[in-house]
Amino acid sequence: MNSTNRAMNRIVIVIVGTFLLACGLVAVGVGAVASVRDAWRVAVPQLARTARAWVRSGADSADTAVAVAIVAALVILIVLLIVFIFRQGRGHTSRLMTDATTDHGSTIIESGLAEQLVQDALADRPELLATRVSTYRVRRASVLKISVVARRGASPRDIGVAIDNALHALDAVVGVQIPAAIHIGGGLRTRMTTAARLS
């Protein structure tokens, strides 16, 4: 429901995975294959000489510039990663719908209204242990999310239909049909409670 960029999550995971795999394979090569080890003996000291020049204090400016550029790149990467972390799990909205402005003014319905109406309508249902209603933006539309915890043994379809009916009532109040997603979950509370006599 939230606006987490899942493709980006996977890209980050695959990039880190590929990097680790490459490092691991190189290490295995250096440790176990003689020809790779020889190449490593030639390549790394050269790299070491270059790198040493970059970070030597009081080195000439061209070398220092490389080190500064590396540090700058690292800082940018860190900022991007922090942004990446804080982009996770967002997408809530407080605006349910905004009607087109007419001569008589415009109508704005806040999410809180729908959330409380649905919550109240479901409050007395014995098969629901907990209800949480929130509103998300999905594809530029407001979508209600109704998360409920089912009592042990309750029929998920009956719960779905009950919530569906509550939503139909909401449609009548609000005047438009707001898309809705219902999540029926279990968990510790489901397992700990006794089954209610429903029929």
Partner 1 sequence: MTDTRSIYRRIIRRETHSPRALLAMVLAVALIVVFAWVGSEIVLALLGHSALLVAPRDMITAAARLDSDQNAAVTASGAGIAVVGILLIIAGVTPGRRARHTIELDRSAVIVDNEVIASALARSAAYAGDVDATNSHATVSHRRAVVRVTPASGVPVNRTAVTEAVDDDLAAFGLQPAVRAAVTIDERGRVGV
Nearest to 181 by CA among 146, 148, 137, 149: 146
SS3 130: strand
Q: Which of 112, 126, 175, 187 binds partner 1 (CB under 8 A)?
A: 187
Q: Which of 14, 108, 113, 173 binds partner 1 (CB under 8 A)?
A: 14
Would you count residue 195 as binding partner 1 (CB under 8 A)?
yes
Q: Which of residues 70-109 bind partner 1 (CB under 8 A)?
A: 70-71, 74-75, 77-78, 81-82, 84-85, 88-89
Residues 114 and 93: their CA atoms lie apart, in Å, by 12
CA 83-84-88 angle, to 5 degrees, is 110
Would you count residue 32 as binding partner 1 (CB under 8 A)?
yes
Would you count residue 4 as binding partner 1 (CB under 8 A)?
yes
Are the beta carbons of 149 and 130 closer than 8 angstroms? yes
Would you count residue 130 as binding partner 1 (CB under 8 A)?
no
Count of residues in contact with partner 1, rule CB under 8 A:
87
The stretch among 48-56, 99-107, 108-116 that binds partner 1 (CB under 8 A) is 48-56
Pairing of the two strands 128-138 and 141-150? antiparallel
Would you count residue 132 as binding partner 1 (CB under 8 A)?
no
